[in-house]
Chains A and B, each alone.
Chain A
Amino acid sequence: MSKVFLIISAVLLIVLSGCASQPKASLYQQLGSEQGIERIVDAFIKRIAKDKTILPYFAKSSVSHFRAGFITHMCDISGGPCEYTGDSMVDIHTGMNINEADFNRVVELLVLAMEDAGVSYREQNLLLAKLAPMRGEVIKR
């Protein structure tokens, strides 16, 4: 039994030590650079269009404006050669009054979109980790 715990602990330690080592390629490159991010955003738009809960939030949005803005934003936060200079997250989401459940629904749609675009589970998590801190600027506004 002790051996089992030793092995599991060792595995966890090795896995954890991965936090310290920097990945060689940037997340932007891992996601497939510009084309990869375009694939994700296009899949995301398709997922949103099919979702009865989330689609109404986009009723007054221009799809092409959203597409261009989100592609640049994702490129920026994933370490790509872009700088997002569009409207702030707060400005975009003010008046939408998005609750926690609908925010999570959008996260789920983005995960589905990343799967559609062939993004691996680990890269999905790394991108979500970049987006998650912005929740406070998005919900209940």
Chain B
Amino acid sequence: MKITVASTLLLACLSVSFASQARGKLLGTPGVSQVEGSAGGGLVPWAQLAGYATEDEWAISGFCTKADVDDFSLNVCGAQANFFDRLELSYAEQDFKVNPLNTELSQSITGAKIRFYGDLVYSQWPQLTFGVQYKKLDTPAVANALGAADTSGYDYYLSASKLHLGAAFGYNLLWNATARSTSANEMGLLGFGSANHDRSVQLELSSAVLLNQHLAVGVEYRQKPDNLGLQESNWRDVFVAWFPNKHVSVTAAYIDLGAIAALPKQTGWYLSVTGYF
């Protein structure tokens, strides 16, 4: 249901021509949309702010993502606003299908991200941002049954990102490192913390090479805690992102999510589309 609302919102955004006209950033430099709604790679929030707004512009973007692994599938839709490339606000709704139990978990994620130093392309040191994601689980029963301590929680993260022009044999090289303080179990879909475990710091890394102005290939790695003792795994993916113009981006990835809820070897495909207004 919630996804339907978000999709409708996204379609409304797509069909209405916004007057923002933010085109200031270079093609591809905002990155894409990560699964929790922030600008980033696919799994990891990056230091970039969503959309093409620069210092005196604002921008709105919307996205939908589908990820399918052996026993689960995730549908996410959301939207981001970028104010003057200083502040990003985001909202996303996740629906997570648990095929073996024929049940569906959902949560909403409200995010904010502030850029406090640098520019991805031009500054000598990496662009630095601080972000927060507030997650609220709409379906608490499974999380409670598994021993989660809470059904909502905050993630805080620091991200550093840099694009090195021509650094890889003449190709542009991008990297991002994110340190996240979180108590979320499987991003929050299985609740937050447990009787014995609460908040911990997790490291998330991404790297990409731009093959030309429109195409990037890369890898991501996202460390995760195992608060519930269900062998929660670190995540990783290899992705291809396509930026035909400043209105849309499409990302496809092969994802390895390891064990989810003690079901091992969850691998599969990921597809995401972001529209920029």
Contact = CB atoms under 8 A, between A and B. Distances in A.
A122 B171 contact: yes
Contact of A101 (B57, B166, B168, B254): B57
Contacts of B27: 108
A17 B267 CA distance: 30
A121 B238 contact: no
A123 B165 CA distance: 10
B172 interface: yes
B54 A18 contact: no
A28 to B, nearest CB: 15
Interface of A: 1, 4-5, 8-9, 12, 15-16, 18-19, 99-101, 104-105, 107-108, 111, 120-123, 125-126, 128-129, 132-133, 135-136
Top 8 A-B pairs, shortest CB-CB distance: A122-B170, A101-B24, A125-B166, A18-B169, A129-B165, A100-B54, A126-B166, A129-B166
26 contacts: A1-B256, A1-B267, A4-B238, A4-B254, A8-B219, A12-B209, A15-B209, A100-B24, A100-B85, A101-B24, A101-B55, A101-B56, A101-B57, A104-B24, A104-B26, A107-B26, A121-B170, A121-B212, A122-B166, A122-B170, A129-B166, A132-B122, A132-B165, A133-B122, A133-B124, A136-B122
Given A122-B171, A132-B121, A136-B122, 6 more contacts: A5-B238, A12-B209, A18-B170, A104-B26, A108-B27, A120-B170
